[in-house]
Amino acid sequence: MKKSRIIASALLAGVIFIGAGYAAWIDNLNIKSAVKTGELNVEFVDTATLLNHKYPFGKELELGDKYVKSEVKMQDSKTVTVKLDNLYPGTGLLYAARFDNKGTIPAVIDRVEVKFTKDNQLLKDNLVVVGGFVQQSDKGKIKDGYIFPTLKDGLFRDKIYLKDLQYNLNKMLEGKRLEPGDYITLDIPEELKPEIVNVLDEEEIKGFNAAEDNCVIMGLPSKVGNNLKNQSAEFEIKLYFKQHNQ
């Protein structure tokens, strides 16, 4: 994983000479300055897997249920791992994650990388992935927010699948600046929820309450065929940051 870069600013220690007349007297004033660099440090601090949907036959799902074997977790403070297993048409999962700027200087999202550690082209081509982000200050003030996909992209119908996740995350997050103490949650801003609802309705992915549910939503459309049975995939989401003046 790419290490965070450090921006350094140092105070110069020097000696000031004070004199009078023809050097009738000389005194030395020594200035000793502590040198401390700023720290660039953004970390994932929380993840969660939420199941608020029901199996098509009306059975309410629970974590650990034999019908759902999926999870999202922090592999370390810089990487989130997502596992998808045993999904069914018309159902999906909610994934939540949050990352904080714990450093002492502003940080800018350089890029997002989605790396498949267990690849599956069928799921990449058919699994619908929608979501958004909300950026807040350390006081809880909302500073920014957006969604993916969005009608504004002009690629609405072509960019809604797992294979497009890296593209969508970069389009949404690249260049976003986090001041020290700022944090981002993968939530859907209230005013943009109708666009996400349209995607879920068109793909017939049921069980999500648009008024309450946020996070990243991953689901299989009801229309997918039997070739999607017993499919699984695993991938990592890594965020790379740079100092604000680069």
Domain enclosing residue 153, as ranges = 42-243
Count of the separate structural domains present in the chain: 1
Is 34 within the bounds of a domain?
no
pLDDT in tens, 174-193: 999 999 999 998 888 888 88
**CA–CA separation, 156 and 236 (whole Å):** 24
Query: Any idea which residue has 């909302």 for tokens?
Result: 142
Question: Which among 68, 45, 18 is positioned nearest to 186, based on CA atoms?
Answer: 45
Of residues 33 and 112, which shows the higher confidence score? 112
Judge contact between 219 and 128, C-beta under 8 A.
yes
pLDDT in tens, 4-57: 343 333 333 333 333 333 334 444 444 333 444 456 677 766 555 444 333 333
**CA–CA separation, 196 and 217 (whole Å):** 9
Is 127 within the bounds of a domain?
yes
Is 88 within the bounds of a domain?
yes
Predicted TM-score (pTM) of this structure: 0.74
Is 178 within the bounds of a domain?
yes
Is 37 within the bounds of a domain?
no
Query: Any idea which residue has 């989605």 for tokens?
Result: 114
Is 211 within the bounds of a domain?
yes
**CA–CA separation, 39 and 41 (whole Å):** 6
